[in-house]
A and B are shown apart, each in its own frame.
Chain A
């Protein structure tokens, strides 16, 4: 690993990057479900955040075992819902049900608007927390590099 690698994948930066990408892609899915709130026969689909957290946790453990956790690339294992495209960007395939209560409306749409709104609020919260943490860690790194606190 080069010197640059040690800086760009230092500490918690790779895992934060994964979380940020996951939250951004999940926002698309939630917006799609909200856009189709009146579409007959539409079934809400979501990705499981618990499954993503488990996959991320395993990748972090592997990285810790390999390099002690202070640096090193993070490689997510294969999973049903989380994948990567050719340019390395995260791609989500929703396979979980979005509508929670199993109630179907008369137009065969299993809409659950309140759950969607809560999911949107949570997702934005996750994105903001991860971005702020990344900003803070990157700031510390920059301070170390430029020698100015």
Chain B
């Protein structure tokens, strides 16, 4: 009875996870040091989505919905900036900066919000169907 709502909820959770990842990228656009203080530029994170929902209650339900399969590091090369005076400059005078472009991230964020709202609309439709079905008995 609650299986259909699981589908819409999994969509909402996946989009919110995406939004969290995007927020982390935007926040760390200029982070050059890691938690230990060593020079380790922040790599862009990506949320990988896949169909299916392992946390669904029934085997049939587990085939429907969406899940975040993994959060991977984007292997695109770091941005290089010429700054020979910086303590982190390499032999040619370049420092590597996080491979994050804030414009791209913001557009991704807008798309994630739109997808989240679509899933909310789907959940409302499912709830409306469920309550309408109950009126058969009244």
Instruction: State whether these chains interact.
Output: yes
Residues of A within 8 A of B (CB): 20, 23-24, 27-28, 30-32, 34-40, 42, 113, 116-117, 120-121, 123-124, 127-128, 131-132, 134-135, 138
Whole-angstrom CA separation of A86 from B17 in the bound complex: 38
Q: What A residues does B111 contact at CB under 8 A?
A: 38
Q: Are B129 and A34 in contact (CB under 8 A)?
A: no
8 A-B pairs besides A34-B11, A34-B118, A123-B125 with CB distance below 8 A are A31-B64, A37-B115, A38-B18, A38-B115, A42-B51, A117-B121, A120-B121, A131-B136
Q: Is the CB of A135 within 8 A of B136?
A: yes
Whether a CB of chain A sits under 8 angstroms from the CB of B14 is: yes
Q: Which residues of A lie under 8 Å from residue B132 when comparing CB positions?
A: 127-128, 131
- By secondary structure, the B interface counts as helix
The residue from A38, A116, A124, A138 contacting B129, defined by CB atoms under 8 A apart: A124
Known: A38-B112, A40-B49. A27 touches B118 (CB 8 A): no
**Nearest neighbor of B13 in chain A, beta-carbon distance:** A35
Bound CA–CA A113/B122 (angstroms) = 11
The A-contacting residues of B in range 90-138, CB under 8 angstroms, are 111-112, 114-115, 118-119, 121-123, 125-126, 128-129, 132-133, 135-136, 138
Complex CA–CA separation, A88 to B126 (angstroms) = 22
- Once the chains are docked, how many angstroms separate the CA of A146 from the CA of B65? 46
Contact residues in B for A113 (Cβ distance below 8 Å): 114-115, 118
B24: A residues at CB distance < 8 A:
none
Complex formed: what's the CA distance from A91 to B11 in Å? 23
Q: Which residue, A38, A121, A127, has most C-beta atoms of chain B within 10 A?
A: A38
Which B residues lie at the A interface, using CB under 8 A?
Answer: 3-4, 7-8, 10-11, 14-15, 18, 49-51, 64-66, 111-112, 114-115, 118-119, 121-123, 125-126, 128-129, 132-133, 135-136, 138
> Contact: B133 with A131, CB < 8 Å?
yes
Are B129 and A24 in contact, CB atoms less than 8 angstroms apart? yes
Interchain CB contact (< 8 A) of A116 among B66, B118, B126: B118
Contact partners of B133 in chain A: CB under 8 A? 20, 24, 127, 131
**Selected A-B contacts with CB under 8 Å, 20 pairs:** A23-B129, A24-B133, A27-B129, A28-B64, A31-B126, A34-B8, A34-B119, A35-B8, A35-B14, A35-B65, A37-B115, A37-B118, A38-B49, A120-B122, A120-B125, A128-B129, A128-B132, A131-B132, A131-B133, A134-B136
